[in-house]
Structures are given as C-alpha cells and as structure tokens.
Amino acid sequence: MTVDHVRGVVVDIEEPKTVNTQYGESDLCEVTIRPDRRSGEPTTVTLWGKWTENAEVIETGMEIAVYNPDEREYQGEQQYSVGGDATLVVQPDFLVDVTDIRAWVQCPRMYYLRKLDGADHAYPLVKGTVVHEVFGDLLRGRDLDTAIEEQVDAAGLDIGLLGREADEVAGDVRDHASAIQGWLRQGTLTETDGAATAADNSERDFSPAESEWRSEMTLISERFGMKGRADAVRRGMPVELKTGKNTKREPRFQDKIQATAYALMLGERAAGAGSAVEAAPDTGTLLYTKNAAVDRNEESGDLSPAKEFSIGSGLLNYVVRTRNAIAAMEYDSGVPTGYEANAKCEYCFEQDTCMAVSGRLDQESKAGTVGRAVPDEELDYFESFYTAIEAERRAVHREYAKLWEQTPEERADNDRALIDLEPIGRTELDGGRWELRATGTGAVSKIREGNLVLASDGDPVTGNAELARVERLGNEAPRASDSGNGNAVAEEIVVTADEPLDLRRLDVYPSELTTDRLQNALHDAVLLQSPEQKDVLFGRREPEFNAVEETFIDNNEAQNEAVQLAVGAEDFALVHGPPGTGKTYTLARMVRALVEGSKTPSERASGERSDPRDGGDRVLLSAFTNRAVDNLLEALEDQGYTDIVRVGTESGVREDMQKYRLETSGDPGECAGRLQNAQVVAATTATCGGSTLQTQDFDTAVVDEAGQLTEPGTLAATTLADRFVLVGDHQQLPPVVQSEDETLSTSLFERLIDAHPDAGVMLDRQYRMAQHIQAFASREFYDGQLRPATGEVAAQRLDDLDGVSTSRLPEGLRDRVAFVDPGGSQVGNTNPTEADRIAEIVASYRSAGVPADDIGVIAPYRAQVAEISKRLPDVTVDTVDRFQGSSKEVIVISFVATGTLDSPIFEDYRRINVALTRAKKALVLVGDGDALATDEVYGRMVEWARG
C-alpha cells in the first residue's frame, strides 16, 4: 500500500553521509519519526540529495511531513525516502509568508529585520502599491485614466505624508501603468486567433477575458505551511508585478522565488491528492514596469516589461527547502542571533539597520555593528517579550488549522466559521467591489459585523476564497422550513469583497497583524528609545513630577489629583479607575488641561499660560478597543473640546465620531495637513503601531483601559510620545492572550502601579452603584476603599425610575441584590434551565415597569449568551468581557456551571468583579449555589447576595 504522506515528530537524526548508489555518489540522512497517524512505531525517513540541507536545521521534537514518499518494506519495517517526486515539509503548522521566503532568499537577516522593524513610510512603496492597484483595475477591465485617478486619490494621505503632489505621483504611475497596458494588449493580440488587429484592440474594448485572468489571488497552503497573495494568475500561471528597476536580462532571483512559491500553491490546488510539484505551472511571468517606462522614455527598442521564466522541480523544491529553513529557525522562537547573514552586505540597503540592531542586541553580524549594546536587563526584557509574542503568532497559526478541518464533526465544532450558507445574490458596487449575500443557519460563531473574514464557495483552502468584510449579520424571521424546531433563526449575511463568488462559507481570518505590530513596538521601545526614556520603564529611576497647584475638578479630590499628577508628570502618571468612578470624565478633563497647558511641566507648575494653539501639548489618545477610543472622544465633546482627529478604519469608528475621522483618500496636502496639525489625535493602540502614526510624534500619550493591554501593546502608543498617562483598572479584565506564555498577561499599567504606587492616583468615589451592590466588589477587590460618591448614589433604588414599582416584583427579587438557584444542569457551555429562569426574571422586572433598555444579562460563555438571547430578543445579553465599560439599571448574571467550577473562565476573579459592577440599582445572580460554594470567593459572593 502506498500513502500520500507520512507525518510525525522527529525522535532521532543521523549524521548526513555520502554513499555510492547505482546513479553515482549521493548524500543521505536518516531521520526517525514517531508517526502521529499510526500505532506509534518509529519509522525511518531517508532524506536524499539536497533535502539533506534541511537535516542540518531539523531538531528532535520538530514535526515533519513527507508528501509522495518513495516507500519500501525493509526487514518488516516500512521505510520512506525523500527524493524524486517527494517533498519534505518541516513544522507544517508554522505558516510562512511568501514575502518572508523572498526576504530570506535575499538574506536571512532581512527576514528578521522586517519582523523587528516593520515597514517604513517610503515613496517607492506607496507608488508601488498604487501601480499594483491600477494593475488589478486593468485586469478587471477598467479604464486606465479612471483607475489612475481613483487609486492616486485613494492613496492621498500616504502621498501627502511624503510631501508629494497628486499630479506628480499620477505621472509616475502612468509610466508604469502604460507599460502594463501595452503588454496586456500585445498579449491579447498574439493570442487572439488571426482576426484581431491592433485597431480592434483599442482602449475602449480591451478587457481581459475573465477565464484567462484572475487578479490578486489569496493562497493558503496546508500541505506546505505557506500563505501569500499572488498579484495575478493567468491561465493558472503566476504573474508578479515589480515596479522596481531591473536592468539585468534575467529576472531577479528573489522575484522568481516569490512567483515560484505561488506556482507551488497553485499546483497544490490543481493536484488534489497528487504531486503539487508535478501539477505546478511550468512558467512564471515577472512584469518589470520600470524597465519599460525607462525604455519608452528613451525610445529604445524593447517595450515589453515581461520576463518569463521556467519553473521546474528544482526551483519548486528550493522554495520548499527555504520555507523549511525558516520554519525550523522559528522552532525555538528565539531572538535572531546575528549570525544568520549569508549575503553580500556591501550594497545592501538594510546595512545600517542591520548593524544598528546587532549593536543594540550585543550580537555579532557579518555586516558589522554600530552603537552600544542595551543593558542586560533590557536584553532580557527584549528576549522574553520577543518569545512571548512569537508564541502568540503560533496561536494564530493554529487558528488556520480550522480552515482545513473537513470532517462533519470538526466542522460542527468549529465556532470560527459559518458554514452551509445559501447564496442569495450579489451586486457590483462602485469602485469595482462586490456585495455578496447569503442566508445563514443562525449558528453561534465568533464572527461579528465589521470583521474581516475569508469568504468562500464552501472550501476556504482549495476553493474560491476572498477576503471580505462582514457588513451585516442581521436576523430575519425564521424560514418556513425551520418552524419545527423553534430555535434555528435564519439570518441574512452581507459581505463586501474585491471579487464575486458564491457565498457558502465564512471563516474568521487569522491575522498576524497584531503580533507584527507588537514586535515592532517592542523593537521601537527597547532599541530606539533613549536611555533616559527607558530608565523609568526598567526601574533605574523613580518617575518625576512637578507640583501642580491649579484646581481642575472642584467636587472630587481624587479626580482633581489625577489631573494634577498627569499635568505635572515628567515621565508618566497612572490613574487607577475602578468601576463607575468617572474615569472617562477625568480623562477628558486631563486631555483638555494638557492641551491648554504651556509647553513644559515646569512652566505648567508655575502656572504660566501661553497661547493654547502653540503652547499646549500635542496629545495622543489611545485605547485597545475602538469603543473605548470613541467613548473618550464623546467625553471630550461633552466638555466642548472638538479639535480632534480620529485615525481608524471606517468600519471601526462609531457613526457619530465619523466626523472626526481622518480621510485617507483625497487631496494629499489636505489629508496630511489635517493629521499633522491636529492637537489631539485618537486611535487604537493597533493603529498607533501602524505606519501612518509612526510618522507622527506627541508630547503626551494618554492610554485608556490600559489594564486590558499587553505591555508591548501599550508601548505602541507610548513610544510615540515624550511622556505618558495610563488609565485603567488592573482589578478588571486583563489582556486576552492566547498562548500559555504568562509574560504578556500582565499589563504595563499593573507592573508600573505595583512598582511605583506613588506615581498613581486611585479614583475612590463611584457614581454608579447602590451601596449594597458595590459592597462586595469594594471589599474583595479594592480593600474597601471604593465608596459611593454621594448619599443619593448609595441609596438609589428601582422605584426611583419613572413608573417602576418594586412592590410588583416577586418577593425574592425585591432586594437590591438577589440570588436565584434555578436547578437545571450545564449542557456544553449552556444551561437551558437557567436561561428559562432568567427569561422569567427579566419578565418580572418588565412587569414591574422597568424598560427593556435598562436591563442587561451577562453570561460567561457565548453559547449561553445565544441561548438567553433567543428568549430575550429585546434585552442586551452579552459576555462579561464584552460588557466591560458599560452599565445597566438592572443586571442579571448567569453562571451556567453546575456541580463544579472547573472551567478556566472562573479562575480569574477579575471577571466576576466586572460582572457584578455593571449594575446600578438591582443585581440578580442566577446559578448553582452548591457549585459556587466550592470556591472561597464565589462562596462569599453567594453569602453576600443571599444577604
């Protein structure tokens, strides 16, 4: 029997050796694996020829897979060898980007520098991007002039930030685009059978046949652990557009490698279970548009920018071996050592960065080093965070595995996808995008409106798949066919995408963007910040403050002190804001004080005031979520401050804050000017880590909800400013971290507040909860220091609401805090009996006159949230995590668990702190009293609630 592949964990590797075979001398290396699909008997895999190069980087413990192996039985044992048509894949679960393979081929150092340093804002990049967009438009049959005009307009902000003019860029783009168009016409001519003439191929009727061309194809390979996006595919063959100059006759090697990688993945799609190498297209095309642009201007002969090259098994396997080298190097996810370089450094444009990074990290490098190494504690810090971020990257890679799960059980368990959708239509939108519609089954998934998803015709890996944005996940009335079971709700699903397809499945698109930005923030903070700025981060110096006498808020001492501290801070200030303490109001007041203040803290301390337009701080306002950023803007607006620019995506920014949103398209000077002249810039931390805001700097960064941010996440904002203010509550939810690594789960806010308690102020008066509701949280989480701000706050009750009478409530719900044990039992992550009871409880409050809008239901699991929502369509029902930051008059909490509390969700007590402190006037806990009593803290909570 032959198998299409073997896969397993490496348990032993022999030294490579050279042997004589019937074909002459050959290298071989024997690797022993413990296969994961067999009984666990060790199996020998022999690597032949060039595959032995990979043997040098393979370590025991790594996983390898061999496709189409030569198989033979030797002394009763199955043996496999990699040579001929077989392919070796090292660490198949580590997904390597095609552009990373390209970088590695240039120089392995380049691969690491890209990862650490991120992209800079450079004209060739912006121009290249615009040309690529125009290329895509031409393939979609659009008119050249319109395409250029629109795409240059779309890049307005980037062009403006580089100080360029639209006309100038349009001219440059036209040179490239004309070359493409000329070549496209030429191609159409030679391939159109006889009849066509040059005249027939006028601009007007030129339109590449749909079947022949496919632009911008997303490719994800399970088999090769590789992903990327091809510029275009023509008759199944990859076409890559290069806007750089290449004066050589031959295509550049790294460009060939890039196109070959796409060819390999196209081969995998074509091959089915067969050999991807054999099925791969045999030709690749590289379009060097600058050559043609130069030729045209010089009126020299060759107008064709295209260089074709043949793709053979040698090149395809080289791509796989390079990919393997990267995956193996990433196995221990260590900081690059500096020894990776194997290219010529002499002409390298990254030489300066390369030497600087090596110098800072105290490494040797072939290119040499500059600068002094950062202190040991910083090296340790860098290393531990680098490793932790890479562990997060691994977690993202594991999410990709969901894309190729195929068994019905796996698919049913997959809450990262919406499957079995029924396509109901598509519409072409302005600008060439498509709106795709389908009806869904109402299944529970992580996918939400606004998310970026992979939309497909049913199979996201081998089928037709496109990145898409979820526009609507609306519920409709149940379809007639669903009326029997009563709980399946058909929903209309609307997405937008670049290309049309039959919408049958949506998958969460696992993006490494966050990990990339965290890595960049770490690099910027440790390797680029000045030693003085880093002193306070590494505990070498206490943060300094100037005394500020001015009163900013006159009815709340702690709030006033917080603003004074922030205004007087030379390095940083910390504001600890427990639930309902007016954190957002204080923050807005603080931002106004910073903006109005004079330039230096010492000047501020002496009370001098200069013209706010040129004297005040330039402030960066940031938070982890778009919602938190928009809440801050709302508070600023409420206080009459509107000199704000909000940077972010259209789908991320709340409707009423769109008026502040920075337009990224339009007149370059206007776009850039708006950003550059803004006194207050607001954006999520992820956006702060992006290239747009990297062009900006600020006097003060103010970061809200800082307790929810990882340390590098916070640094993405703080590295853009001279000093920073962190506002948050480390007794509420910590950052969400997917990997086991604990390094990222403590926020910078928490670390600094522990290390420098004097640099922080705790807001201790809360304006939200009745006395009895806040009592438990105050005692358990805030040392009893959290108090109601006024007697009115303390004494508030439901009867205060118009038309509400608690006398109409059942006995057990009349107290401000109640506990209900409905019986029932946990089913998966739901508890239907509890959901029923919660629906009854909510109905009681409704009968007593409480509007639906004043009631909120909180559950630990999404599945239970869905269960309750079905019964209460008019009431806000959500997870604890998503309820953080808001509040309701009445809160009902579902605990789901029965018997024991063994789910990890109950381990972090901060989650219950958040849930309990959402209520203003009434709080009902619904759960299994016995299960809750098994834990000390939950036990005390039940005691308190039973009152």
Partner DNA sequence: TCTCTGCGTAGAGGA
Q: Which of residues 510-539 bind DNA (CB under 7 A)?
A: 511-514
Q: How far is the CB of 513 from DNA (least distance, A)?
A: 4
Q: Is 231 in the site for DNA (CB under 7 A)?
A: yes
Residue tagged 């006028």 (tokens): 202
Which of the stretches 39-47, 225-233, 269-277, 373-381 binds DNA when contact is defined by CB under 7 A?
A: 225-233
Site track 436-475 with DNA (rule: CB under 7 A), x = hit: ----------x-x--xx--------------x--------
Strand spans (E) along 265-312:
283-288, 306-310
Residues 808-847 interacting with DNA (rule: CB under 7 A): 829
Q: Which residue in the set 412, 736, 795, 843 belongs to the binding site for DNA (CB under 7 A)?
A: 736
- Which DSSP helix (H) or strand (E) runs through 627? helix 626-638
403: tokens are 């894309």
Q: Is 683 in the site for DNA (CB under 7 A)?
A: yes
Q: Which residue in the set 201, 439, 649, 844 belongs to the binding site for DNA (CB under 7 A)?
A: 649
User: For the purposes of burial, counting CB atoms within 10 Å of the CB of 380, is it exposed (0-12), middle (13-18) or buried (19 or more)?
Assistant: exposed
Q: How far is the CB of 506 from DNA (least distance, A)?
A: 13
State whether residue 140 is helix, strand or coil. coil
Site track 79-98 with DNA (rule: CB under 7 A), x = hit: ------------------xx
Distance between CA atoms of residues 159 and 166, nearest Å? 7
Distance between CA atoms of residues 670 and 673, nearest Å? 5
Q: What is the dihedral of CA 100, 307, 237, 192, to 10 degrees?
A: 160
Site track 129-148 with DNA (rule: CB under 7 A), x = hit: x--x----------------
**Taking the CA atoms of the chain, what radius of gyration do you get in angstroms?**
31
Nearer to DNA, 151 or 564 (CB): 151
Q: Which residue in the set 52, 181, 586, 684 belongs to the binding site for DNA (CB under 7 A)?
A: 684
Q: Which residue in the set 17, 49, 84, 122 belongs to the binding site for DNA (CB under 7 A)?
A: 122
Q: Is 905 in the site for DNA (CB under 7 A)?
A: yes
- Distances from the Cα of 679 to the Cα of 592, 650, 806, angstroms: 10, 21, 50
Residue tagged 């074509």 (tokens): 270
Q: What is the dihedral of CA 142, 146, 152, 157, to 10 degrees?
A: -100
Residues 846-875 interacting with DNA (rule: CB under 7 A): 860-863
Q: Which residue in the set 32, 44, 79, 106 belongs to the binding site for DNA (CB under 7 A)?
A: 106
Q: How far is the CB of 508 from DNA (least distance, A)?
A: 7
Q: How far is the CB of 495 from DNA (least distance, A)?
A: 13
Contact 164, 668 (CB under 8 A): yes
Q: How far is the CB of 671 from DNA (least distance, A)?
A: 13
Which of the stretches 20-28, 127-135, 632-640, 802-810 binds DNA when contact is defined by CB under 7 A?
A: 127-135
Residues 239-268 interacting with DNA (rule: CB under 7 A): 240-245, 252, 258
- Distances from the Cα of 705 to the Cα of 370, 631, 634, 660, angstroms: 38, 11, 16, 21
Helices within 728-859 (DSSP H only) = 748-755, 771-781, 791-795, 832-847
374: tokens are 């950062």
Residues 42-81 interacting with DNA (rule: CB under 7 A): none
Site track 6-35 with DNA (rule: CB under 7 A), x = hit: ------------------------------
Q: How far is the CB of 922 from DNA (least distance, A)?
A: 24
Q: Is 687 in the site for DNA (CB under 7 A)?
A: yes
204: tokens are 């007007």
Which of the stretches 115-123, 206-214, 848-856, 924-932 binds DNA when contact is defined by CB under 7 A?
A: 115-123
Q: Which residue in the set 99, 207, 441, 887 belongs to the binding site for DNA (CB under 7 A)?
A: 99
Q: How far is the CB of 813 from DNA (least distance, A)?
A: 27
Q: Is 229 in the site for DNA (CB under 7 A)?
A: yes
Distance between CA atoms of residues 761 and 582, nearest Å? 13
Q: Which residue in the set 881, 929, 933, 934 belongs to the binding site for DNA (CB under 7 A)?
A: 881
Measured at the CA of 814, the angle between CA 812 and CA 820, to 5 degrees, comes to 35
**Interacting residues of 502 by C-beta distance below 8 A, sequence separation 6+:** 423, 457, 458, 464
Residues 362-421 interacting with DNA (rule: CB under 7 A): none
Q: Which residue in the set 624, 698, 845, 895 belongs to the binding site for DNA (CB under 7 A)?
A: 624
Residues 281-340 interacting with DNA (rule: CB under 7 A): 290
Q: How far is the CB of 517 from DNA (least distance, A)?
A: 8
Distance between CA atoms of residues 674 and 527, nearest Å? 30
Which of the stretches 645-653, 667-675, 773-781, 926-934 binds DNA when contact is defined by CB under 7 A?
A: 645-653
Give the residue from 306, 315, 242, 232 showing the smallest Cα distance to 266.
232
Q: Which residue in the set 333, 664, 771, 934 belongs to the binding site for DNA (CB under 7 A)?
A: 664
Nearer to DNA, 265 or 490 (CB): 265
Q: How far is the CB of 604 from DNA (least distance, A)?
A: 31
For the chain, give the longest Cα–Cα distance: 97
Distance between CA atoms of residues 616 and 489, nearest Å? 54
Which of the stretches 1-9, 180-188, 374-382, 902-910 binds DNA when contact is defined by CB under 7 A?
A: 902-910
Q: How far is the CB of 743 from DNA (least distance, A)?
A: 15
Q: How far is the CB of 798 from DNA (least distance, A)?
A: 28
Q: Please tell me what DSSP assigns to residue 223.
A: T
Total of residues contacting DNA (CB under 7 A): 76
Residues 562-601 interacting with DNA (rule: CB under 7 A): none
**Interacting residues of 346 by C-beta distance below 8 A, sequence separation 6+:** none
Nearer to DNA, 271 or 827 (CB): 827
551: tokens are 């009163």
Which of the stretches 192-200, 480-488, 780-788, 900-908 binds DNA when contact is defined by CB under 7 A?
A: 900-908
Nearer to DNA, 258 or 581 (CB): 258
Distance between CA atoms of residues 568 and 600, nearest Å? 9
Kindly provide the b/e burial profile for residues 232-270, where b requires at least 16 CB atoms within 10 angstroms of the residue's own CB: bbbebbbbbbbbeebeeeebbebbbbbbbbbbbbbbbbe
Distance between CA atoms of residues 789 and 765, nearest Å? 5
Q: How many CA atoms lie within 13 A of 762 on its CB side?
A: 21
- Distances from the Cα of 85 to the Cα of 26, 113, 143, 321, 419, angstroms: 16, 34, 45, 14, 36
Q: Is 879 in the site for DNA (CB under 7 A)?
A: yes
Q: Which residue in the set 216, 729, 750, 821 belongs to the binding site for DNA (CB under 7 A)?
A: 216
Q: How far is the CB of 581 from DNA (least distance, A)?
A: 22
Contact 727, 703 (CB under 8 A): yes
Q: Is 508 in the site for DNA (CB under 7 A)?
A: yes
Nearer to DNA, 529 or 738 (CB): 738
Q: How far is the CB of 307 from DNA (least distance, A)?
A: 14
Q: Is 903 in the site for DNA (CB under 7 A)?
A: yes
Q: Is 692 in the site for DNA (CB under 7 A)?
A: yes
Nearer to DNA, 699 or 741 (CB): 741
Distance between CA atoms of residues 338 and 646, nearest Å? 40
Q: Is 128 in the site for DNA (CB under 7 A)?
A: yes
Which of the stretches 348-356, 419-427, 786-794, 795-803 binds DNA when contact is defined by CB under 7 A?
A: 348-356
**Interacting residues of 384 by C-beta distance below 8 A, sequence separation 6+:** 743
Which of the stretches 47-55, 315-323, 576-584, 648-656 binds DNA when contact is defined by CB under 7 A?
A: 648-656
Q: How far is the CB of 438 from DNA (least distance, A)?
A: 20
Distance between CA atoms of residues 561 and 595, nearest Å? 17
